[in-house]
Amino acid sequence: MEITVHSNRPQKNLSILLLTLLIFYIVDSLLGIAWASFTLDDEKKLGKEFYEKLEKANALSKNERANTFLGLLGERILSHSDKAPFEFKFSIIRSSAINAFATPGGYVYINQGLINLVENEAQLAGVLAHEIAHVNGRHIAEIVDRSKVINISALAAILAGAFLGGSGDAVAAVTGFTMATAATLTLKYSREHEEAADRTGMSYLVGAGYNGDAMLDFLKIMRRYEFYSNTIPSYFLTHPGTDERTRYIDALLQTTYTRKGAESVIGKLKRVQTILLLNGKTSDSANLQRFQNSLKANPDDLDALYGLAVTQDRLGMLSESLDTFRGALRLAPEDADILRDLGIVYYKNGQFNDASAYLSRALGIDKDDADTLLFLGRTSEAMGDMAKALSLYKKLEEKHLDDPEVLYNLAMAYGKANQPGDSHYYFGLYFKKKEKAESALFHFKAAMKHFPPDADRSKEIAKAIESLKR
C-alpha cells in the first residue's frame, strides 16, 4: 500500500513528525509494543459501509439473473476454499472499466467490463478465486495495520481512490470525499500479496473443478487488451506485477496443477454477458452492430440472436425483432428469456393474446422471474382479468416489494378492482419509495379510512406514517 499524505505544514514540522514516527516504529519493533489493530469487526464494518454507499450511489447492477450467476460462481469457489471468518457477498459494478476488487469483510466486486471480457466461466472463476484469497489472507487489513489509519471514513476514501479512481464522481458519491481529497490516499497490493492471492486462488480454482489454465489465459487476455487499448486497464493498476505473475502461474501449471479441469460448471455465462450488454451503457446501435457481427461468424449463436432481437425491438424494428425471436425459438423452444421477451414485445404492440401465450409459457419454466410476472400481470389487466393480474402482482410483491414499479402496478390494479383501501396503501408505499413524503402521507391517510383500526393493514399503515414523520 502506498499512502501519501499531502500537508501544508512547514517542512520543519513535517521533518519532526517523520522523525517522531520513526522513533515510535523503532520502539514498536524492538519492544513489541502493539498499535491498535484493525480487527475482524472493523473489517466487517468498513466492508458494509462501503457496500451501502455503493448501493446508494446506484453503482451496483440490480440485474437478478447476472447477480444470481455471480453468487453461484462465488459460492462454488468458497466451498473449496479456506474457512473464512466472513459472510461473503458478490456484486457487479455498473462500469465498463476492466477491474475486480475485494474489500474487507468479504465483499467482492466485479466490473461489468471484466465479465464481458472473459472468454469462459473458468476465467471468471479464476478472478473470483484470486479476490477471495485476498480477503481470506486479510491483505487489506494487514496494510491498514501498517498504515495506522483506523478512521472508517478515511479508509473508505482509500478504497474508493484505489478501486473507483477512474471516476471522480464515483469516488465522491461513495465516500463523500472529493477526488482531490481521495487522491491523497492511495492503495496498491504489494507483489507479495498478489503472489499469495494467485497461489492460494489457484488451489481454490482447481479444487472447485475448473481448469487452472484459465487464470493464466485471463492475464494473457488482459495483455492483449492493453496492447489494443488506448488506456491501461484498471486491473493492472490495482493488481501489479502482471509479467511476473504470468511466469510463476505458468510454472505452477507445469509442476503442480497439471490435471485439466472444466471450462464451465454452472453454465450460461454467455447469456449473462448478453444481458449485461443489453443493460449497460453501450448504445443500442453499437449493440446491434456487435450482435450482427457475431451472427456473421456463427448464424446459430443463440445468445447473439436473443441480444439482436431485444436490440431491434428497442430501436423500433418490430417486424425484424419478431423474426429474430422466432429464429431463436426454433433453436431453443423452451428458452425462458426468449419466450418472456417475445411476450413483452407482443404486449407493447397491443397483441395481448400472443403476449399472454408466450409469457405463460415462460412462467411455466421460471415461476419466479420478475419481468414475466410483471408483464403477464399487465397483459391480464389489459384483457380485463383483474383477479389474475392481482394474483400475479401479489407473487411479485413477495419477492420485489422494494421495486417502485411493482408497487405502482399493485396500486393501479387494486384501483381497477374497486379496492380503494389497498390501492391507496400501495400508492403510499410507491411515493414513500420515491421519497415524496407529502404524496405518500396523503395516500396512507386515505387508505386508513377503509380498514378497521385493529386490522393488520391499519397497523402497517400506522407504521409507515410514523416512519415518514421520523
- In this predicted structure, what is the pLDDT of residue 50? 83
226-235 long-range contacts (CB < 8 A, ≥24 apart) are 233/97, 233/98, 233/99, 234/97, 234/98, 234/99, 234/111, 234/163, 234/165, 234/166, 235/98, 235/99, 235/100, 235/114
Which residues 6+ apart lie within 8 Å of 36 measured at CB?
150
Which DSSP string corresponds to 132-145?
Answer: HHHHHTTHHHHHHH
- The residue type of 270 is K
Collect the ranges in the chain with pLDDT lower than 70.
Answer: 1-38, 144-189, 227-233, 237, 241, 400-401
Q: 267 exposed, middle or buried (CB, 10 Å; 0-12, 13-18, 19+)? A: exposed
Residue that the C-alpha cell 421495486 belongs to? 403
Question: For the segment 410-468, what is each residue's pLDDT rounded down to a tens digit?
Answer: 888 888 888 899 899 989 988 988 889 999 999 999 999 999 988 888 998 899 888 88
pLDDT of the residue at 349 = 92
Residue with cell 473449496: 80
Rounded Cα distance, 269 and 118, in Å: 9
d(CA 98, CA 123): 14
Q: Which among 336, 342, 405 has a CA at the least distance from the CA of 374?
A: 405
> Domain locations in the chain?
11-255, 272-413, 414-470
Residue type at 331 in one-letter notation: L
**CATH for the stretch 272-413:** 1.25.40.10
The pLDDT assigned to 7 comes to: 39
pLDDT at position 32, please? Answer: 35
pTM: 0.77
- Give the pLDDT score at 231: 63
Tens digits of residue pLDDT in 281-300: 889 999 999 999 999 999 99
Do 235 and 98 form a contact (C-beta atoms < 8 A)? yes
Contact 195, 248 (CB under 8 A): yes
Reading the block at residue 325, the C-alpha cell is 425471436
* Total Cβ atoms within 10 A of residue 13: 10
